[in-house]
Amino acid sequence: MVRENGAAVEVWLRRYAALFVVFTLTLGVLMRWGLAVGFPRGLALDFLHLRHAHSHAGYFGILVAAWWLVAKVQGVRLDVRVVHAYAATALLASALFAVMGYRWPTMALSTVLALFWLYGGVLQHRARGGAWLDGAAVGLAAGVVLVPMIAVMARRDFALSRDLAHLFVAWLLFTVFAPAAWQASGCQRRRSILVHLVLAAGAAVGLIFPVATAPVGPMVLAAFSAWLLLVVVEAGWSLWWRVLWSVLPAGLLVAVFVPQLQHHNWRMAGLHAITLGPILVTLGWFVFRLRPPWVLLAGYLVAVVGMNTALVLDVAPAPVWVALFSTATALGVGAVLVHHQARQHFAIPEE
């Protein structure tokens, strides 16, 4: 029974991850077409609402499903009913974000999802055994504390609320999703998880609040970059994976030594580059167990670079050719995932 339930958990996590990839890509395409030519008349679409839904769907669906799958393979005992309940709640929350943005229903559902994360963190803590995800519970607990602060400050001080949201994102990237990707790639943890958590916490604060934390914040950020370089060197990856993961410490080091790059637009581009580059590529390879055609992968990486360039330059509206390229890339990624899921997981294991 346990083995069959475990097999169903893995199947459904992969399916839900694929569903949220398609959903997130669809929202991204709508956003870019809205910037390029405007939204069709009769469709009550709001760009900011779509952007919130796009980012939340990626985090709620893709990254969490990937983290849970890595944890499940490690030995964490997840209940398939919890996976279904989480996916349904995440899908509803993301859809409501697209319709109404930040309102009490979406904030309430986000709080419920945070409780699911804590549930996964507790299970991860119980199953710890020298893996990179051993610190996920601490990272999640500290991150969830920021959720009500972000909600309260959203109407009182939008700039501070936005910075706290970025701190939340950076904290989870450094303590949960990057370690999940390392673990998925077979990278063995050879250093103290406590040192990693301390450096990650200081680096996240220093990255989002560089002026308020100077000079300590930038120094910790530089130390965390050196720590990440050590992980890359000792990971035993191929040259391709080393180059891909070097984007993370290199980007953080640049932010330390070039103060002009600490502007909001650069920070947004950096968080997107970290998430969509090494973390999502590594987790995607692990979750879907396939190597996409090099043309599609190259197109995806070019789209990521182009999007981050647009964020830095604050280019709006986006030209039509950017929307066309994004659409083609999204359709390619979606088609590969749907075809792969249909072939590999057509039958659901009996429970």
Where does the pLDDT of residue 334 fall: very low under 50, low under 70, confident under 90, or very high at 90 and above?
A: low
- 240 and 183 belong to one structural domain: yes
Residue range 247-305, pLDDT digits in tens: 888 888 877 776 656 666 777 777 888 888 899 889 988 988 776 677 777 777 777 77
Residue range 149-196, pLDDT digits in tens: 887 777 788 788 888 888 898 999 999 999 999 999 988 888 889 999
Q: What is the pTM of this model?
A: 0.86
Instruction: Using the structure block, give the residue that is written with the tokens 């964490």.
Output: 76
- 154 and 198 belong to one structural domain: yes
Identify the domain containing residue 53 by its residue range.
1-109+290-351
pLDDT at 347: 46
Range of weakest confidence among 38-42, 167-171, 211-215:
38-42
- 133 and 240 belong to one structural domain: yes
- 95 and 162 belong to one structural domain: no
- 334 and 228 belong to one structural domain: no
Domain assignment of residue 235, yes or no = yes
pLDDT at 1: 34
pLDDT at 32: 77
Q: From residue 344, give the alpha-carbon distance in Å to each of 61, 150, 296.
A: 20, 40, 20
- 276 and 160 belong to one structural domain: yes
pLDDT at 254: 78
Nearest residue to 49 via CA among 62, 30, 25: 30
Domain assignment of residue 250, yes or no = yes
From the number of C-beta atoms within 10 Å of its C-beta (0-12, 13-18, 19+), residue 153 rates as middle
